[in-house]
Each structure stands twice: as structure tokens, then as C-alpha cells.
Chain A
Amino acid sequence: MSAVNSKQRQFDALVRSLSGDLFRYAYWLCGDEALANDLVQETFLRAWRALGDLRETNAAKAWLITILRREHARLYERKTPQFSDVSEIDIADERDTVQPESAGEDATIRAAIHRLDPKYREPLLMQVLGGFSCDEIARELNISAAAVMTQLFRARQKLKVMLGDGNKEANVYELS
């Protein structure tokens, strides 16, 4: 098998096994289905060009999420003026396409996640969707592991409060 074929096979396998996870991460990062598709595609195109940098298959997901976060930051810087006139109605419609139910538990929790401050949402996404440990999240976000633990704790706390389920527990579990 030639090196080119080997690289292509590795890339195909990455795309087929991880594009769904990457899409979910991108969607909750930017809140827009079409933009999430673009982000994932751009992430994989960059990954293709830098595939030689990936040393361990087990690290592929973390590597791709790192690329995706950078791409998201770049896209946001580049595209903000262009997207500034896109109406909230459009964004709401696109969210509806990902959320088949107009009511129900999933829709309620999704609305709460969208309202969560990004500084709480992103560590939560990295843990729940990315499977990262607190130390890995800390390295990725360039903050301390203690700060990550606090943000994860507060993310869940705030979600529960938004969902009307956390009022009585809010003071009891607060981290020092």
C-alpha cells in the first residue's frame, strides 16, 4: 500500500468515525447548523494538510477539536461583519431543523444549553461530548484544572437552575 493510499485511508476513517462528534461539538459551539457543517468541513480539510502531525490515533478526536476551536475563532473574526445582518429568525429556524421536537425535555434542555454562558458551556461540551478529563480541558483552554472543575460544577448548577431543578441545591454544593 502506498503512502498516499495509507494517508487517504487514515483520513477516510477519521472522517467517517469522528465527523458526527465534531459536528455536535461545532453546533453547540456556534449554535448554527449550516455554520457547524462549514466548520467541520474546514477542520477536516486543515487536518488533511497536517495529517502527518497526528502521531497517535487515540489522540485524533482531541487534535481535531483543537483545530475546530481555532477554526471557529478564525471564522468568527473573519465572518462577523458578513453575518451581522443575518436575522435571529434565520438562526432560530436552523436550530429548529436540529430540534425535531417543539416541546419536551430535550428541547427544554437544549434551550437552556444555548443560554449558558460560553465560558461554562465549552468545558461542559469538552467533557460530555469530547470525553476530555479536567486536566485535558485545562490544557486546551489554557486555564487551571481547578478553574475547569469550578466551571463544570457551575455549568451543571446553572442548567439545573434554568430547568427549575437546582434552586434547593444551589447553595449546598457550591465550590469553595
Chain B
Amino acid sequence: MNCLEFRRQLGVDPLSSGADFVGHRQECARCAEAAARAVEFEAALRRALNVEPATQLAESILLAQAMQQQRGRRTWMRRGGMMALAATLVLAVGLGMRVEASPLSAQAVEHLHGEPEALTLTQAVPPASVRAAFAKRGIALRHDISGEVVYVGCCPMGRHLTVHMVMPGNTGPVTVIYVVDDRVKQRDDFQRDGWRGRSVPLGSGTLILLARDTGQFDSIESEWRTALQG
């Protein structure tokens, strides 16, 4: 290997361990100096590229995978029951019965039961992730919320599109679900399956809060009102 070939290889792969490359470096002082500079630059390049991921990235991925599996199982089970459901609906219509759709509050509680792992998280997600989740649903937040969010996901809830979040609080986590495509007519507090809840018409959708007690509902509702409406 001559000097020109060495310098070419140095630009392609400064950490090359090829015998010719190493041999020339040992024989040629000028190329050895150039190699030392290149290795120093390479170290600086590696340091600069080494951006740190969020500390909970791996946990978030495993949680998303667990949730996806759970949803998959539920879908499979639902398919199994479809024929029975279809038969029941036909019978109900035949009998002139009125079949009502499940209200958003009930769907939200069912969704929460389906993703219990979300309530166990404790590390804050960056505001950029919250903004990105809303952006995915076509909504630009006017302000970041000041409260901490420890889980955010774009979840389907029945036929609805939502942004599902969990905010920690002094008296336990509060599940915040923004239903993008359905707006309730009025603000309402409810209780269901041991959960206290509130549904609020906000923007073009509905904000649903769920927790064991309502102590933090007012402040969280106010924060999201500002974030969504300015």
C-alpha cells in the first residue's frame, strides 16, 4: 500500500484493521500522523452521534407490544363472538328493541381495563412526544401542559380515535383520554366500575378523565382546555 492508497482508506474507514493499512501506518511517519488526526476526528464524530434516547424508551416499546398483543387477543375473541352477536341483533331488531351504542364513558373505562400497564409507569415522557401524538391525530396543541405525562399513545377506542395519556398525581394516576372524533353534548361527572370519571366537550372532541377520586380533575381539565383551545 502506498501513501495515496493509505489516505484513501483512511477517509473510508479510519479504524480499518487491514494488514496493508496497519503495515503502512507503521512504516510511514506522515501517514501515521494523518491517521492519528483521523482517529481523533472519528472519536469526536462518535461522541457527537451518541444522542441519548429517553430513559423509558425500552419500557415504552415493551408496553406497546404487550398492548398490541392484548388488543389482538380481544379482536380474535370478538370475531369468535360475532356470529352470536349478529344473531342477537337480528333477534333484537325483530322484537322491536332499541339497541343503544355504548357511551364514551363506558368505552373509556373498558379501554383503561385493557391497558392496565399504562397506570404503572412513572417516568415523564417529553412534551414533544405529547405534541407528536396529537399531531398524528391531526391536532396542533396550542400550549404544552405544565403537568407531567408518564404515558402517551394513539389508541383506537372502539370505533373512535383517541390520544390516551396518564398523568401522575398526589392521589394516584389520572387517565386522560382525548376522543378526537366524537363530542359529547355536555360536561358530565360519572362513576363506573369503581372509577370516577368526567367527560368534557372540548374542541371538536371529548376529554375524558378517569381516576379513583376526582381531586385533580378541575386542574387537569383546566390545563387541557388551555392546551387545546388556548
Contact = CB atoms under 8 A, between A and B. Distances in A.
Interface of A: 11-12, 15-16, 19-20, 23-24, 27-28, 33-35, 37-38, 40-41, 44-45, 48, 82-83, 85-86, 90, 93-94, 97-99, 105-106, 109-110, 113, 125, 127-129, 134, 149, 152-153, 156-157, 159-160, 165, 172-173, 175
Q: Which of under 10, 10 to 19, 20 to 34, or 35 or more describes the interface residues of B?
A: 35 or more
Contacts of B49: 24, 28, 113, 125, 128-129
Given A109-B44, A128-B46, A86 B54 contact: no
A92 to B, nearest CB: 12
A83 B8 contact: no
Contacts of B157: none
Contact of B45 (A20, A37, A128, A149): A128
Interface in B111-134: 126, 128-129, 131-132
Interface stretch (B9-17, B91-99, B186-194): B9-17
B64 interface: yes
Contacts of B131: 34, 90
Given A23-B57, A41-B64, A152 B135 contact: no
A153 B11 contact: yes
27 contacts: A12-B62, A15-B61, A15-B62, A20-B53, A23-B51, A24-B50, A24-B51, A27-B51, A28-B51, A34-B129, A41-B61, A45-B65, A85-B140, A93-B128, A94-B128, A97-B126, A105-B48, A109-B44, A109-B48, A125-B49, A127-B13, A128-B49, A149-B12, A172-B7, A173-B10, A175-B8, A175-B11
Contacts of B41: 156, 160, 165
User: Secondary structure at chain A's binding surface: helix, strand, loop or mixed?
Assistant: helix
A133 to B, nearest CB: 9
B68 interface: yes
A38 B13 contact: no
Contacts of B60: 37, 41
A20 to B, nearest CB: 5
Nearest to B41: A160
Contact of B61 (A34, A40, A129, A153): A40
Given A15-B58, A35-B132, 13 more contacts: A19-B61, A23-B57, A33-B128, A34-B132, A37-B53, A38-B132, A40-B57, A134-B12, A152-B11, A152-B13, A156-B38, A157-B11, A165-B41
B47 interface: yes
Nearest to B14: A156
- Pick the most buried of A48, A113, A125: most chain B CB atoms within 10 A of its CB: A48
Contacts of A99: 51
Contacts of A83: 135
A97 B128 CA distance: 9
B46 A106 contact: no
Contacts of A127: 13
Contacts of A175: 8, 11
A33 to B, nearest CB: 6
A95 to B, nearest CB: 9
A168 to B, nearest CB: 12
B230 interface: no
B52 interface: yes
A98 to B, nearest CB: 5
A165 to B, nearest CB: 7
B34 to A, nearest CB: 8
B106 to A, nearest CB: 28
B81 interface: no
B80 interface: no
Interface string B149-182: 0000000000000000000000000000000000
